[in-house]
Amino acid sequence: MPPRPSLHSLLLMATSASSAAAAAGGDSGLLLAARRRLPAAAGHRIRLLHSFSGPRVPRRAEVACCVRSDPDARPAGPVTVRSRNVHSANNYKAASEGRLGQLVQKLKNEGINPKQWKLGNFQRMMCPKCNGGSNEELSLSVYIRMDGMNASWNCFRSTCGWRGFIQPDGVPKLSQAKTGIKSETDQEVEPNKAANKVYRKISEEDLNLEPLCDELVTYFSERRISAETLRRNKVMQRKWKNKISIAFTYRRDGVVVGCKYREVDKNFSQEANTEKIFYGLDDIKRTQDIIIVEGEIDKLSMDEAGYRNCVSVPDGAPPKVSSKIPDRDQDKKYQYLWNCKDYLDSASRIILATDADPPGQALAEELARRLGKERCWRVKWPKKNETDTCKDANEVLMFLGPQALRKVIKDAELYPIRGLFAFKDFFPEIDNYYLGIHGDELGIRTGWKSMDDLYKVVPGELTVVTGVPNSGKSEWIDALLCNINKECGWKFVLCSMENKVREHARKLLEKRIKKPFFDARYGASAERMTPDEFEAGKQWLNETFHLIRCEDDSLPSINWVLDLAKAAVLRHGVRGLVIDPYNELDHQRPSNQTETEYVSQILTKIKRFAQHHSCHVWFVAHPRQLHNWNGGPPNMYDISGSAHFINKCDNGIVIHRNRDKNAGPLDVVQVCVRKVRNKVIGQIGDAFLTYDRVTGQFKDAGKATIAATTAATVQKQKNSYVKSTKDNVAYEMPFPHVEPADSVDGQDCIF
pLDDT of amino acid 71: 42
Q: What is the percent of the chain with per-residue pLDDT over 70, rounded to a whole number?
A: 79
| pTM for the whole structure | 0.57
> Dihedrals φ, ψ of 389, to 5°?
-110, 145
Q: For residue 638, give the DSSP letter.
A: G
Average pLDDT (67-93) is 50
3-state secondary structure of 618: strand
> Dihedrals φ, ψ of 256, to 5°?
-70, 125
Q: What is the rounded distance in angstroms from the CA atom of residue 391 to the CA atom of residue 631?
A: 73
- DSSP per-residue string spanning 489-515: ---EEEEETTS-HHHHHHHHHHHHHSS
pLDDT of amino acid 548: 93
> Dihedrals φ, ψ of 319, to 5°?
-70, -30
Mean pLDDT of the chain: 81
Q: What is the rounded distance in angstroms from the CA atom of residue 162 to the CA atom of residue 153?
A: 8
The more confidently predicted of residues 438 and 111 is 111
Q: Which residues pair with 668 in a beta bridge?
A: 690
Q: Does 581 sit behind a cis peptide bond, omega within 30 degrees of 0 on the bond before it?
A: yes
Average pLDDT (362-375) is 94
In contact, 186 and 146? CB cutoff 8 Å: yes
Poorest-confidence range of 20-34, 122-136, 620-634? 20-34
pLDDT of amino acid 540: 96
In contact, 394 and 298? CB cutoff 8 Å: yes
pLDDT of amino acid 60: 39
Poorest-confidence range of 116-120, 286-290, 578-582, 690-694? 116-120
Poorest-confidence range of 84-93, 511-520, 599-608, 687-696? 84-93
pLDDT in tens, 504-520: 999 999 999 999 998 87
pLDDT in tens, 526-569: 889 999 999 999 999 999 999 999 877 777 899 999 999 999 99
CATH architecture assignment, domain 205-414: 3-Layer(aba) Sandwich (3.40)
pLDDT of amino acid 425: 85
CA distances from 205 to 73, 198, 202, 251, 275 (A): 66, 21, 8, 15, 18
pLDDT in tens, 201-216: 999 998 999 999 999 9
pLDDT of amino acid 122: 85
Q: What is the rounded distance in angstroms from the CA atom of residue 384 to the CA atom of residue 396?
A: 7
pLDDT of amino acid 184: 32
In 372-417, alpha helices (H) = 393-399, 402-410
Where do you find CATH 3.40.1360.10 in the chain?
A: 205-414
pLDDT in tens, 375-422: 999 999 999 988 999 999 999 999 999 999 999 999 999 999 988 888
The more confidently predicted of residues 239 and 26 is 239
Q: Which residues pair with 351 in a beta bridge?
A: 291, 377
Q: Is 491 left (phi over 0), alpha (psi -120 to 50) or beta?
A: beta
With a CB cutoff of 8 Å and minimum separation 6, the contacts of 177 are: 326, 330
The more confidently predicted of residues 708 and 488 is 488
Which numeric CATH code is attached to 462-711?
A: 3.40.50.300
Residue 23, pLDDT > 70, answer: no
- DSSP per-residue string spanning 46-87: EEEE----SS----S---EEEEES-GGGPPSS------HHHH
Residue 74, pLDDT > 70, answer: no
Angle in degrees, CA 595, 601, 604, rounded to 5: 140
Confidence bin at 3 (pLDDT 50/70/90): low
In contact, 157 and 146? CB cutoff 8 Å: no
pLDDT of amino acid 255: 94
Q: What is the rounded distance in angstroms from the CA atom of residue 330 to the CA atom of residue 432?
A: 48
Confidence bin at 31 (pLDDT 50/70/90): very low
Q: What is the rounded distance in angstroms from the CA atom of residue 280 to the CA atom of residue 276?
A: 12
Per-range mean pLDDT, top range of 359-373, 694-708, 719-733: 359-373
pLDDT in tens, 469-484: 888 999 999 999 999 9
Please choose, from the candidates 321, 298, 318, 325, the residue with its C-alpha nearest in 3D space to the C-alpha of residue 310.
298
Poorest-confidence range of 425-429, 443-447, 646-650? 425-429
Confidence bin at 730 (pLDDT 50/70/90): very low
| Sign of CA pseudo-dihedral 27, 32, 34, 36 | positive
Where do you find CATH 3.40.50.300 in the chain?
A: 462-711
> Dihedrals φ, ψ of 740, to 5°?
-65, -30
In contact, 397 and 408? CB cutoff 8 Å: no
pLDDT of amino acid 717: 61
Q: What is the rounded distance in angstroms from the CA atom of residue 383 to the CA atom of residue 402?
A: 15
Q: What is the rounded distance in angstroms from the CA atom of residue 56 to the CA atom of residue 18?
A: 20
Residue 66, pLDDT > 50, answer: no
> Dihedrals φ, ψ of 295, to 5°?
-145, 160
The more confidently predicted of residues 673 and 641 is 673
pLDDT in tens, 223-282: 999 999 999 999 999 988 788 999 999 999 999 999 999 987 778 888 988 999 999 999
Q: Is 355 left (phi over 0), alpha (psi -120 to 50) or beta?
A: beta
Q: For residue 372, give the DSSP letter.
A: -
pLDDT of amino acid 671: 94
pLDDT of amino acid 718: 63
pLDDT in tens, 177-203: 444 433 333 333 333 344 456 888 999
Which string of b and e fits 477-494 if b means at least 16 CB within 10 Å?
Answer: bbbbbbbbbeeeebbbbb
pLDDT of amino acid 191: 36
pLDDT of amino acid 48: 40
The more confidently predicted of residues 710 and 2 is 710
The radius of gyration of the chain's CA atoms, rounded to the nearest angstrom, is 42
